Structure 1
Amino acid sequence: MKIIKLILLFLITTNTLFAQIKVSCVGNSITEGWNGNPSYVPILQKLLGANYIVKNNGKSGATILNKGNKPYCKQEAFLRALNDNADIITILLGTNDTKSQNWDKYSSDFKSDYVALIDTLQSTNRNAKIFLVIPVPACRGNFGIRNDILNLEIPIIKQIAKEKGLPIIDANTPLLESCNYFNDGVHPNAEGANAIALLLYQSITK
């Protein structure tokens, strides 16, 4: 009986030691990767190492706004994020919400829809630590994405984080002077993807 208990203890300890921490990256094309522009997710996986498993749950064009032109909550990526049973969730959304067809009509819903997204993710990932990522700057007005509107979103995201007691990862301020990291003004190139991954890595492992 004593030997059996020792074997069970060994198995439990071994499983605990080698259990991977699951990270779910929620986002848009900046997360998913788009048109040859790389995703930061594989780089984040390399930085975090074998003790983590990082999943890409980004969807190109996705919005926080539920009445936006492509709500994240209606995408398959959202279902994957709900079912990940993640230990850590990062949310990098808001860029596509700045488009005129989204923000100009539904900006008053931005905060409530963001909170609803968080609450839904928490409902199925009850023990997950959620990081709200301040979106990267929009260096040019490509794709209808407006940096001046992005600047209106930032204090709302910070307010949500404060009210819900969630940590923030600022992927905006450190990259304000790094427009060369975004070839089309929005999507990161290799240098940009590395920079974003490093910012997430530093916060996750802090």
Structure 2
Amino acid sequence: MIRPVLSDARRRILTAAASVALLVGTIAVMYRRIMYPPVPRLGEDRIRVAAVGDSNTYGAGVLFRGRARRAYPGRLQRILGDRYQVLNYGVNRRTLQRDGDWPYDETPHAAASLASQPDIALIMLGSNDARGDNWNPERYASELADFAERYRARGATVFLLTPPVAFENRRGVDERIIASEVAPLVRRVASDLHIDLIDVFEVTARTVTSHRDGIHLGARSSALVAATVAGAIRLSRRTPTPTP
């Protein structure tokens, strides 16, 4: 009489354990795909635009709302049209500074964005440099200049983007450092190197009153950034030809 009861209980335990293991495995796969998205595939005979950045380029603020379409690079693709290919090289949590806690340079996307031989490079890194103990203004300015020059050396038209405005948040990103130090340094480096500037901070600070979590662009603000970037590309003095 006892053995069948114990056997049934054991089966239930094993079934529950298997379900938990499957759930944990699924979550792990999803987390890895979110934190380390696939490197974009390259097309031919189109003007190649490499959108390089952190979670605001990746689209963390619209993660479960059609990220590929609603992140700013996806919206930019629709605005620019089929003559362009906008490649999203955004990776979550990443810093520009190589001594930061999660450096962008350590991702496959850093090398892939250069190897793609982009006609246009959009660089928006800096929000996570204002997180915790990451911030070092001298190092940030120096490394941003070096970072931009990598793409210029490969023939890309480079645009430096200030990070968007940030608000109080629980992720350790200091919104005051972004406003008073990161954004001004991006402007200064762009001026020093005679690189086109897209002042995402100024545009979002003027029109956006909040982000859902304090730092990530939502659907409306992503659309605003995409429209701003598209306008800057179209007004640029240098019109690239499609990459064969």
In structure 1, the residue matched to 2:107 is 75
Q: How does 1:75-154 map to 2 (within 5 A)?
A: 75-103=107-135, 106-123=136-153, 126-151=154-179, 152-154=181-183
Instruction: Report the secondary structure of 2:160's partner residue.
Output: strand
Q: CA deviation at 1:120?
A: 2.3
| Amino acid corresponding to residue 50 of structure 1 in structure 2 | D
| Amino acid corresponding to residue 64 of structure 2 in structure 1 | G
Q: CA deviation at 1:146?
A: 1.1
| Amino acid corresponding to residue 189 of structure 1 in structure 2 | G
Q: CA deviation at 1:156?
A: 1.4
| Amino acid corresponding to residue 90 of structure 2 in structure 1 | G
TM-score between both structures, scaled by the size of structure 1: 0.84
In structure 2, the residue matched to 1:186 is 215
Deviations 1:139-167 (A, max 9, x none): 22331111110121122111111111101
Q: For 1:41 and 1:83, how far apart are their aligned partners in 2?
A: 19
| Amino acid corresponding to residue 89 of structure 1 in structure 2 | A
| Amino acid corresponding to residue 115 of structure 2 in structure 1 | N
Q: For 2:145 and 2:203, how far apart are their aligned partners in 1?
A: 25
Q: For 1:160 and 1:29, how far apart are their aligned partners in 2?
A: 22
In structure 2, the residue matched to 1:165 is 194
2:205 pairs with 1:176: yes
In structure 2, the residue matched to 1:36 is 64
Contact 2:169 2:213 in 1 (8 A): no
Instruction: Report the secondary structure of 2:134's partner residue.
Output: helix
Root-mean-square deviation (Å): 1.7
Q: CA deviation at 1:177?
A: 4.1
Specify the structure having the higher radius of gyration (Cα).
2
Q: CA deviation at 1:57?
A: 0.6
2:102 pairs with 1:51: no
Deviates more, 1:151-160 or 1:165-174: 151-160
Q: CA deviation at 1:74?
A: 1.3
TM-score between both structures, scaled by the size of structure 2: 0.72
Contact 1:134 1:157 in 2 (8 A): yes
Contact 1:63 1:70 in 2 (8 A): yes
In structure 1, the residue matched to 2:41 is none
Q: Percent identity?
A: 26
Contact 1:23 1:86 in 2 (8 A): yes
Contact 2:183 2:201 in 1 (8 A): no
Structure 1: give runs of 5+ residues left out of the alignment.
1-17
In structure 1, the residue matched to 2:228 is 199
Q: CA deviation at 1:180?
A: 4.7
In structure 1, the residue matched to 2:51 is 25
Contact 1:86 1:128 in 2 (8 A): yes
Q: For 1:201 and 1:72, how far apart are their aligned partners in 2?
A: 24
